Amino acid sequence: MKVEKFKVLLYLKRSGLDKSGKAPIMGRITVNRTMAQFSSKLTCTPELWNPRESRLNGKSKEAVKINAQIDKLLLAINSVFDSLLERKQEFDATAVKEAFQGSKDTQVTLFKLFDKHIEEIKSRVGIDVSHRTLPNYLYTRRRLADFVSSKFKVSDLAFCQLNEQFIREFQEYVVIEKGLGVQTVRQYLAILKKICRIAFKEGHSDKFYFEHYMLPKQQERPPRALSKEDFEKIRDIELTGCRPAHTIARDIFLFACYAGTSYVDAVAITSDNLSKDDNGALWLKYRRGKNGQLSRVKLLPEAIALIDKYRDETRATLFPVISYDTLKWCLTSIKIKAGISGRLSYHMARHSFSTLMTLENGVPIETVSKMLGHADIRTTQIYARVTPKKLFEDMDKYIRATQDLKLIL
């Protein structure tokens, strides 16, 4: 469609003053030779109105507030107009008006959909969503709301108001003004793109905004596992005189070293997840809270001993449940008491299982992937770092296998 004229005019309806003496601000949309009038649902003191600029004069509290709302209004109308143009179909001023009023009054907006999705995530935590996922969405929502408030002076935006400049400026905002790292920024942008994808899929927006926007390059940070020496320090540390939570935290950590469980799974598994094979060996089988993948591990005697230590018929779970914050605090105390340098996190136990207990002992990576419950073997390959011990063993195997080969020049 060829558009020769598009204009939005705002004017005062001076004959319709309210009880406080303020006049309603009306609008007129012109597309080629068609016109449509609408109410902006805004009012102002008539003496402040500038008909030439279609906004209020001065810097009074009323002028600043109403002018910001006018800017939001005009931005929404122009965004709707651009969206109709992209459809490459005939439309008139009435179509712009109806689309605009729909986006303003009934359309699901960015933060409305964000909040709806967060509520859905809350209901799925511990079922098919990791406990770490919810904070990621809450932090992203908070940063995005701060950006929209500071940049546009509004509390929400329609999806039709988004463009490539929006996501670029949001990225600059969290990097430059907030000083966040690449991994965090990448996570925020990925969540924003996901919300926009949901909006398009559910019909709340005419297109998938930011579909082709490239996220910052992900930093390669291989998981950190415990050395054998540090593992033995944690295993053998004497916790007499410490709180019971310290012993529980240490034992759940060790169980993860022996079985590869994440925290959200370790505190959720029950006796129903245990079964014996035909040879009487005890297996742990469960679906991961993070991705729903089935994880199967033949339990080592040390892992079985820990289960037996905490066996309690009055409790549903195999281990006592302590909060993640308490667990982190206890592990920090244990690290200091054991004389371990560097950071100690629960997830390092899972990394240690994949290296110390499996890969370094010759367990094939495909098997380790099934034991860890990875959806993609490429995730397991990140764990499969070549340790010095494994390197020397593999080189010895290589030398023995090729000792009969002779180089013929």
What is the DSSP annotation of 253-312? HHHHHHH---HHHHTT-BGGGEEE-TT--EEEEEE-TTT--EEEEEPPHHHHHHHHHT--
Which residue has better confidence, 385 or 304?
304
Task: Look at the domain 228-396 and name its fold.
Answer: hpI Integrase; Chain A (1.10.443)
Which residue has better confidence, 80 or 196?
196
Element (H, E) at 7: strand 6-12
Q: Collect all residues with Cβ–Cβ distance below 8 Å to 78 and sequence separation of at least 6.
A: 8
Instruction: Report, as an integer, the average pLDDT of 299-311.
Output: 91
Count of positions (residues) in the chain: 409
**CB crowding 97-127: b at 16 or more within 10 Å, else e:** bebbbebbeebbbbbebbeebbeeeeeeeee
Span of 175-184, 346-355, 358-367 with lowest mean pLDDT: 358-367
pLDDT at 408: 46
* Confidence band for 254, pLDDT divided at 50, 70 and 90: very high
* Confidence band for 357, pLDDT divided at 50, 70 and 90: low
pLDDT at 228: 83
- Could you give the 3-state DSSP secondary structure of residue 2? coil
Instruction: Report, as an integer, the average pLDDT of 221-233.
Output: 78
The identity of residue 310, as a single letter, is Y
Phi, psi of 281 (to 5 degrees): -75, 140
Pairing type for strands 49-50 and 55-56 reads: antiparallel
> Is residue 305's pLDDT more than 80?
yes
Percent of the chain with pLDDT over 90: 31
> Is residue 250's pLDDT more than 90?
yes
CA–centroid distance for 358 within its chain: 30
Q: Token pair 């709806």 is at which residue?
A: 116
**Domains 110-201 and 228-396 in one fold:** no
Which residue has better confidence, 266 or 357?
266
Residue 145: Cβ-neighbour burial (10 angstroms; 0-12, 13-18, 19+): middle
Give the tens place of pLDDT for each residue, 122-174: 888 877 777 778 889 999 999 999 999 988 888 888 887 788 889 999 999 99
* Confidence band for 409, pLDDT divided at 50, 70 and 90: very low
DSSP per position, 216-231: PPPP--PPP---HHHH
Q: What's the CA gap between 345 and 48, in Å, rounded?
A: 61
Which residue has better confidence, 290 or 395?
290
> Is residue 68's pLDDT more than 70?
yes
The answer to whether domain 110-201 has CATH 1.10.150 is yes
Q: Where are the domains of the chain?
A: 6-105, 110-201, 228-396
pLDDT at 337: 92
> Is residue 385's pLDDT more than 60?
no
pLDDT, the chain, mean: 82
* Confidence band for 400, pLDDT divided at 50, 70 and 90: low
> Is residue 373's pLDDT more than 80?
no
Of 364, 408, 299, 2, nearest to 307 (Cα)? 299
Q: Residues 200, 205, 207, 210: is their CA dihedral positive or negative?
A: negative
pTM of the model: 0.47
Span of 80-94, 168-182, 184-198 with lowest mean pLDDT: 80-94
Tokens of 79: 């965004």
